[in-house]
Amino acid sequence: MRRLRPEAVALATFATLALTGCGIGGIKDFEKTLASNDSATAALGQWCAKRALAAPPVIRALADRSALIPASPAIRKRLGVSAEEPIAYRHVQLACGDQILSVAHNWYVPSRLTTEMNRTLTTSDKPFGKVVAPLAFRRDRLAQKQGAMPQCPADTILSHEAVLRTPDGKAISLVIECYTPGNL
């Protein structure tokens, strides 16, 4: 059996979306929802409710606790930490009902979170954005791409890379978010 290259899978996904009427208009609507929120969790919750993907529209983080990707020097630089500062990694699928809406890679600085936040992130299915919401973070988008960034699955419809910062400007997290066709 012949296997399709990732680019062919992505092209087929976009063609299918265009033919079903969920293509560019749906993606643009989705992008607007994401852009209007500092929290991807909040944006996905709004999107899930708007599209009636589940009742209630609750976003859950399905964590792969065995995944580990060490923070590269570039990630450490973006987070503003030394080579010795501990960095945690969380790999999750964000779901609403039975729909996977996002696959996310998240490197975060545990020392910039509370003890309770760190415990919740390592033991629960709560999304990062919901857990750290009390920090009143803002999102600095570093990159956006229709389709997949290198860390994303081939059928990704939209990719973001961002740093989340506290009001005083300290970086708490670098995320790479891979949004799935389940959004459309």
Please give the Cα distance from 26 to 165 (Å, whole number).
Answer: 29
* 3-class secondary structure, 57: coil
Cβ(72)–Cβ(148) below 8 Å? no
Predicted pLDDT at 122:
95
Please give the model's pTM, rounded to 2 decimal places: 0.85
What pLDDT is recorded for position 20? 36
Please state, as a whole number, how many other Cβ atoms lie within 10 Å of the Cβ of residue 76.
Answer: 19
Q: How confident is the model at residue 26 (pLDDT cuts 50, 70, 90)?
A: confident
Please name each of the domains of the chain with its CATH number.
Answer: 6-183 (3.40.1410.10)
pLDDT band at residue 146 using 50, 70 and 90 as cut-offs: very high
For residue 62, the number of C-alpha atoms closer than 13 Å in the C-beta half-sphere is 12
Over 70: is that where the pLDDT of 61 sits? Answer: yes
3-state SS, residue 108: strand
pLDDT of 81 reads 98
* CA–CA distance, 72 with 74 (Å, rounded to integer): 5
| pLDDT tier at 12, thresholds 50, 70, 90 | very low
d(CA 9, CA 11): 5
- pLDDT tens for each residue of 112-142: 999 999 999 999 999 999 999 999 999 999 9
